[in-house]
Amino acid sequence: MFSRFRKKPEARRYLLRVALAMVIYLASLFAAEILIEDQGMSGLPAYLLAALPGISFAAVFWIFARLIIEERDEFLRLLYVRQVMVATGIALTAAAVWGFLETYLPVPHVAAFWWPTIWFFGIGVGAFYNKMTMGSAGECV
């Protein structure tokens, strides 16, 4: 009964990698909050620690690329590529539009880490788009 819900090895690896990246992200975020914000860490270690949440965040791009490379099913590969294109289109459009709004109008500043966050949101939109147009959202949702 549950066999149809069993994930393929590629999808399992993807989910495991995302989970690991998120654990590192949260751990480094908390460490930066405590050591830099609360305890005043400075210098090179502070810069490295402050960069760590962003690097683990960005690991998801590498993880998605690995999924596309490792996926043996050509149709699922197509779905993942379409998903990435939708997400990238949404995130870069949002970044470009808001950048110009900030330049010319008195709108609030948006921290740069929101653009990859919007990319993750776009991955969800891409899965929905695939479901609507191709009949499947793939195996990683």
Partner 1 sequence: MKNRLRVLRAEREWSQQDLADRLDVSRQSVNAIETGKYDPSLPLAFRIADVFALRIEEIFLREVDAQAAQ
Q: Give the footprint of partner 1 on this chain (CB under 8 A).
A: 4, 8, 72-76, 78, 133-136, 138-139
Nearer CB in complex with partner 1: 78/125: 78
What are the tokens at 59? 């690991």
Cβ 5 to partner 1 shortest distance, Å: 12
Nearer CB in complex with partner 1: 77/95: 77
Cβ 82 to partner 1 shortest distance, Å: 11
Q: If you compute the radius of gyration of the chain from its CA atoms, what whole number of angstroms results?
A: 18
The answer to whether 79 touches 72, Cβ cutoff 8 Å, is no
Q: How far apart are CA 30 and CA 44, in angstroms?
A: 18
Cβ 128 to partner 1 shortest distance, Å: 15
Nearer CB in complex with partner 1: 66/82: 82
Q: How far apart are CA 41 and CA 136, in angstroms?
A: 48
Q: How many CB atoms lie within 10 A of CB 91?
A: 20
The dihedral of CA 41, 42, 45, 50: what is its sign?
A: positive
Cβ 125 to partner 1 shortest distance, Å: 19
Nearer CB in complex with partner 1: 4/109: 4
